[in-house]
Amino acid sequence: MKKTFNHIFGKLGLLMLVSLAIFSSCKDSDLAEPISTGQPVIKKVYLLDTIAKHKDSTVVGAEPNVLLVINGENLGGVIKAYFNEYETSFNTNYNTNTNLIIRLPGDAPTDATATNTIRLVTSHGEVIFPFKVIAKPNITGYDKITFGTGRGDITFKGKNFPDITRIVAYAVRDKPTDPIKDSVVCTVVSKTVDRLVVRIPSTTFSRITFNITNSSGTTKLADEFVNADVAIQFFTEGFGSFTNSEGSGTWGGDSWGNGVKVNSDQAYAGTQSFSIALSAGGWSWFGFSSWWPRFYYDPAYKYVTFAIKGGANDMSLWITSEVAKSGFAEFPDKNRIDVRAGVWNYYRLAIADLDFMYAGVPIPRIGFRPKGPDKSDLLYFDDIMLVK
């Protein structure tokens, strides 16, 4: 028994000696930094993207989702962190007595309720620091891309709308180097947290983009919106009309197969569209025609635009005209468009890229042709126009 006791004691003693040796070899920097107990102080905030660049500077505001360094004194032991009184999470491993690394939350309020502060609560006190969450208008979608008489207002989806102060529509420049053209100020019809309804005044601009401004700054949209009032209309609120040296004419529905029907049960903009019921396995073409006077294409119009409400199945269509070099019997890849089922699909195609229209050549018919189709379906068409 004595032998066993000495054996165990000897091993325990050796283990204690090894542990003491390891502990005594540790440097102060290897140990956790003790949490100071003084009143917490925030001195500055800077961006984490390149610490070497920003550590000697400070920012008074930032956009959501960026990484920040909150610098100060007695910041160890942060329990809670708030931006504009919105509580956010953080990793305590990145919290020292002098710094807290934290991501600015995307959901922090930026409307009239915003306090424009950072608030840190530690185990030994709290501190408040002035800081603005820069949240420009964020557009994630809109209900239509055309505007004009009878087309209704445009509804934008997104966030940071409640404090919007100004919306300006600018004419799209033909070249980036062209001077900025005149603009028009739009009317804010209504605004909520995630919906913004905008009314565009009457204008001669063919295509526009928007600058949307709130208290944080201005968002410049890249998307272009089309003015139906100055376009050549094949179909908008019914079939369009035109005038040339041969006289004044109006387009009418035309098809090989089932007839084109004007209706008001669906519309991309305004109140009307035209529909076509496609029969499975049938050879069909559909669109509109004017045999006299005939339509002559003006190359000043650069784009053809239209919207198609898909039916029950995804499908492809080919845009065609009487003067297409490929004729009605062929399916050139350049003229193909893909239509998603069950939703409105909007298209703006450069006429120069299509086998479709040519200057000075009379065009009595324009329209669309499917292959097949293999299944019966019902499609709706709206806002078929030429725009500059």
**33-37, 204-208, 250-254, 333-337: least confident range:** 33-37
pLDDT for the residue 360: 86
Q: Within a 10 A sphere around the Cβ of 161, how many other Cβ atoms?
A: 23
d(CA 251, CA 365): 9
pLDDT attached to residue 59: 83
Residue (of 370, 381, 384, 174) closest to 295 by Cα position: 384
Using the predicted structure, report yes or no on whether residue 102 has a pLDDT greater than 90.
yes
Measure the CA–CA gap between 155 and 295, rounded to whole angstroms. 34
Q: Is the pLDDT of residue 63 over 90?
A: no
- Judged by average pLDDT, the poorest of 46-50, 79-83, 274-278 is 46-50
Position 174 scores a pLDDT of 74
Residue 112, beta-bridge partner list: none
| Count of other CB atoms within 10 angstroms of residue 139 | 18
| pTM of the full structure | 0.72
Give the mean model confidence (pLDDT) for residues 52-64.
72
Whole-number Å distance between alpha carbons of 138 and 201: 23
What was the pLDDT predicted at 57?
66
Domains within the chain, CATH numbers bracketed: 41-133 (2.60.40.10), 138-228 (2.60.40.10), 231-387 (2.60.120.430)
Would you say residue 351 has pLDDT above 90? yes
Long-range contacts of 236-245 (CB under 8 A, 24+ apart): 236/151, 236/269, 236/270, 236/382, 236/383, 236/384, 236/385, 237/150, 237/270, 237/271, 237/272, 238/262, 238/272, 239/288, 240/385, 242/290, 242/293, 242/295, 244/293, 244/295, 244/296
- The distance between the two most distant Cα atoms of the chain, rounded to a whole number of Å, is 125
Task: Note the pLDDT of residue 154.
Answer: 97
Rounded to a whole number of angstroms, the CA Rg of the chain reads 33
The C-alpha atoms of residue 274 and residue 382 are separated, in whole angstroms, by 7
Output the pLDDT for position 128.
Answer: 97
Q: Go through the chain and tell me how many residues it has.
A: 388
Per-residue pLDDT band at 10 (split at 50, 70, 90): very low
For residue 14, the model assigns a pLDDT of 40
The predicted-structure confidence for 218-252, as pLDDT tens digits, reads as follows 999 999 999 999 999 999 999 999 999 899 999 99
